[in-house]
Amino acid sequence: MCRVSNLKGRDFLTVNDFTAAELMAILTFAQELKSSQKAGQAAALLAGKTLGMIFEKASTRTRVSFEVGMYQLGGYALYLNAADMQLGRGEEIKDTARVLSRYLDGIMIRTYAQRDVEELAAYADIPVINGLTDLLHPCQAMADLLTILEHKGKLQGVKVAYLGDGNNMAHSLLLACSKLGIDMAVASPAGYQPAADIVAAAQKNAQASGASVTLTTEPAAAVKAADVLYTDVWTSMGQEAEQSTRVKAFQPFQLNQRLLEQAKAEAIVMHCLPAHRGEEISEEVLEGPQSVVFAQAENRLHVQKAILAKLLA
């Protein structure tokens, strides 16, 4: 089994911190780990290692996939609810980072502000993994790339159409796709498009990879000739007060059968979950034959194992 050591000790805060070759090495390693696990040949690459998992936001997939991933790699994952830590009583992030560095081998954090993850990484002596912030969701984007690679057999030249809010998921997909030569079109209502600095970074990536980055307010334009149709919730955690306004604004962007039929005939449907059926995606599309949503969710486990092993082993 391939063991790439050149990423040891690195943080995983955004895919944009890594080269295309490094991202592909993670994906290749994830495929190897997935095949080994399916064959009942799990490798204890992280025996004796401990990952601290700090949660300020609720989680299903992030917690379970990281915890199971560490177990399968022979390590231990420690769940740390931020409300139960001294962080919840005002201890500074830089102090927490230096203390945890003396107990743990790595930290995964799921929180609100990207700057908090960056400060944690700046003061920690051990790798820090971004499990989600309001700005970025890099581990999910890596699982998405693995899923596309599995179902399309390539990344370069594939077209992804993202429908909906220009949120953390859109941001990480823009950065990841543009790094690896995937064309990406984002269709969002005016006022809900991705952050300008993220778009600029993606466009810079695309110039190097040969990919294209397109922003539009027309869903039909985005899905034309698309290989992958992707959506996410219209209202993220912390935006509940905007629910009714967002539902009205995003209604034309629902991923439904009508839009799916305007993409390539063999297009696949993706959603990072949790899904609000009947809002951002219709029931028939989510449960339809072109949906790879649950395979996509499974790949969180495999790609995060690859990230963990590369950073901590």
| Residue 22 backbone dihedrals phi, psi, to 5 degrees | -70, -40
Domains in the chain: boundaries: 15-136+299-312, 140-296
Q: What is the pLDDT along the chain (313 residues), one digit of tens a residue?
A: 444 448 999 999 999 999 999 999 999 999 999 999 999 998 899 999 999 999 999 899 999 999 999 999 999 999 999 888 988 678 999 999 999 999 999 999 999 999 999 999 999 999 999 999 999 999 999 999 999 999 999 999 999 999 999 999 999 999 999 999 999 999 999 999 999 999 999 999 999 999 999 999 999 999 999 999 999 999 877 777 888 899 999 999 999 999 999 999 999 999 999 999 999 999 999 999 999 999 999 999 999 999 999 999 9
pTM over 0.85: yes
151 in active site: no
Catalytic residue, from 296, 300, 302, 304: name it. 300
| Residue 152 backbone dihedrals phi, psi, to 5 degrees | -110, -15
- To the question of domain 15-136+299-312 being in CATH 3.40.50.1370, the answer is yes
110 in active site: yes
140 in active site: yes
For residue 234, give the amino acid letter: W
Q: What are the structure tokens assigned to 241, written together? A: 């007060």
Q: Matching CATH topology for 15-136+299-312 and 140-296?
A: yes
- The CATH number given to 140-296 is 3.40.50.1370
Catalytic residue, from 61, 72, 105, 137: name it. 137
Catalytic residue, from 31, 72, 110, 271: name it. 110
